Amino acid sequence: MRDSGKSAHGRARSTARRRVAAAAAAALLGAAPAAAQTREQPTGMIYTCLDDQGRRITSDRPIPACSAREQHILNKDGSLRAVHPPTLTADERAEREARERKDSAERMARVEATRRDKNLLVRYPDEAAHRRAREAALESVRMAIKATEERQMELQAERRPLESEAEFYAGKRMPAKLKSQFDANDAAVEAQKEAATNQQAELARVNRLYDIELERLRRLWAGATPGSMGPLPSPLADKSAAGGR
């Protein structure tokens, strides 16, 4: 009798577990459609637009037929809640991005111009300060030019005895040692000529840079707003443009 009672009790518990599992499964199955219905419920907003034929279309969600047009989003009472912009084509997106990049570059250029103008005013409170800075910059170039001129004179002096010795070999083959001395002197002379050309160009560049700055500073000292005159021109770019003319 005891074994029969235990068996009946076990069957009852098994049946109860199956019922609980079945109820849970039914609850899950019922919840899924309910959740889907919740997601599909309209948000309470009204989308409206005019299609290509000028007909007004209204929906409770974005209207595919008006994807290339502006759509107004209304509240339930008909008041305007927001504006849904048109979907851009690939070309339109590329054009917008290019325009945004250009605008960003222009903003950065204005910021940089403002920063540089303010720095100029701090460095050069008056024209005398700017003139002293110009002279200091030119002095180092002038010293380099003077050293080049002195070296050119030394090379001329070194060449004279070589030329005197070469007279003994008029109409004859010059010794290899003497020829190599001439070649070395020629190479050194050419190097100094190139250095002199570069130094003169640097002298002009420095003067042009300070001329550009002085023109800008005179306007700033007169009350112009920093950054209002655009970026400071490059002396090299200015020289190149002048050469092109």
Residue 207 included in any domain: yes
226 and 135 within one domain: yes
Give me the pLDDT at residue 204, please: 96
225 and 155 within one domain: yes
The range of the structural domain enclosing residue 70 comes to 2-25+44-84
172 and 69 within one domain: no
Radius of gyration of the chain from its Cα atoms, rounded to whole angstroms:
44
Cβ neighbors of 44 (< 8 A, separation 6 or more) are: 75, 76
Q: Provide the residue-wise pLDDT of the chain in tens; the chain has 245 residues.
A: 445 545 555 565 666 566 645 554 444 444 444 444 444 444 578 999 988 788 899 998 888 888 888 899 998 888 888 988 888 788 888 898 899 999 999 999 999 999 999 999 999 999 999 999 999 999 999 999 999 999 999 999 999 999 999 999 988 899 999 999 999 999 999 999 999 999 999 999 999 999 999 999 999 999 999 999 988 888 875 554 444 43
Residue 111 included in any domain: no
Residue 33 included in any domain: no
What is the DSSP secondary-structure string of 113-139?
HHHHHHHHHHH-SSHHHHHHHHHHHHH
Give me the pLDDT at residue 27, please: 46
Count of domains for the chain:
2
Give me the pLDDT at residue 66, please: 85
Q: Report the predicted TM-score, pTM, of the whole model to 2 decimal places.
A: 0.57
Estimate to the nearest angstrom the gap between the alpha carbon of 102 and the chain centroid.
10
Helix axis angle for 235-244 and 176-221, nearest 10°, is 100
Give me the pLDDT at residue 99, please: 92
Residue 93 included in any domain: no
130 and 230 within one domain: yes
Residue 64 included in any domain: yes
Alpha helices, H only, the chain: 2-40, 90-123, 127-166, 176-221, 235-244
- How many whole angstroms separate alpha carbon 124 and alpha carbon 107? 26
Q: Given 69, 84, 99, which residue is the final one in a domain? A: 84
pLDDT tens digits along 42-80: 457 899 998 878 889 999 888 888 888 889 999 888 888
172 and 76 within one domain: no
152 and 65 within one domain: no
Q: Given 60, 84, 108, which residue is the final one in a domain? A: 84
222 and 143 within one domain: yes
Residue 117 included in any domain: no
Q: Given 53, 84, 115, which residue is the final one in a domain? A: 84
Give me the pLDDT at residue 31, please: 43
129 and 76 within one domain: no
- How many whole angstroms separate alpha carbon 117 and alpha carbon 213? 9
- Amino acid (1-letter code) at residue 24: A
133 and 61 within one domain: no
75 and 161 within one domain: no
Residue 107 included in any domain: no
